[in-house]
Structure 1
Amino acid sequence: MKLADLSAGPDWVVYVGFIIFAVLSVVLISGHGSWLISGYNTASKEEKAKYNEKKLCRTMGFGMSVIAILALTMGLLENILPAFFVYIALGIILVDVVVIIILENTLCRK
């Protein structure tokens, strides 16, 4: 069974999702878009002062780019990849999220 056998919707949805994630990744990697980071944009000024905003944005941007590349790979190779690749992709996303959380609370603090 291939990954394409599991998809029930149109292929363009995956590509639109990739484009959205890619644009947000570029905005965050450039050091802008801190207002997109949940929790940081609602934090008080004292709490925001504890973090390096540029590092925080770049960390989120690189983490989001991993997910964007994974979505693009799954969209382009859906006729080649086996169906169990969904579990591998889920594992990659979970590890990515854990790494992002750890880096935000260690590397991005002042």
Structure 2
Amino acid sequence: MIVTLILFLAFITLGIFLMNGKGASLIAGYNTLPKEEKEKYDEPALCRFMGKMIFVLSLCMLLWPASELLEIQWLFGLGLGLFIGIVLFMVVYMNTGNRFKK
């Protein structure tokens, strides 16, 4: 439970950092692009989207210790299912439609 709360705080910190348009080097895939390719993307919009998603993921993570405290096992399953679903949504959303291209 303590580890989950520490991860929650780390995610919130990362989310705040990304919401300010900073930390694009922490986004997997983007950080490995050559400089010419990076210039084709709207970096602040990409960072803001990732920051919002990190906040949503951190809220899903709060269900994990809540299930332990309240002794309701299905809360953990709900939180884990939402977490996995949101990650899948993020991957599909970011890689389709050229949403973050300039």
What band does the TM-score fall into relative to the shorter chain?
0.7 to 0.9
Q: Matches of 1:49 and 1:43 in 2, distance apart?
A: 10
Which structure has the larger Rg over C-alpha atoms? 1
TM-superposition CA deviations, 1:40-68 (whole Å, max 9, x none): 11111222123210111111111111111
Match of 1:91 among 74, 81, 84: 81
Structure 1, unpaired ranges of 5+? 1-10
Q: Matches of 2:75 and 2:66 in 1, distance apart?
A: 13
Quote the RMSD (CA, aligned, Å). Answer: 1.8
Letter in 1 for 2:7: G
Residue 44 of structure 1 is matched in structure 2 by: 34
The alignment-based identity, stated in percent, is 33
Letter in 2 for 1:12: I
Secondary structure at 1:84 match in 2: helix
Would you tell me which structure has more helix in proportion to its own residues?
2
1:56 aligns with 2:46: yes
Assess if the C-alpha contact under 8 Å between 1:25 and 1:65 holds in 2: yes
Assess if the C-alpha contact under 8 Å between 2:67 and 2:76 holds in 1: no
Query: Which deviates further from its counterpart, 21-30 or 97-106?
Result: 97-106
**TM-score (structure 2 length as normaliser):** 0.82
**TM-score (structure 1 length as normaliser):** 0.77
Aligned length: 100
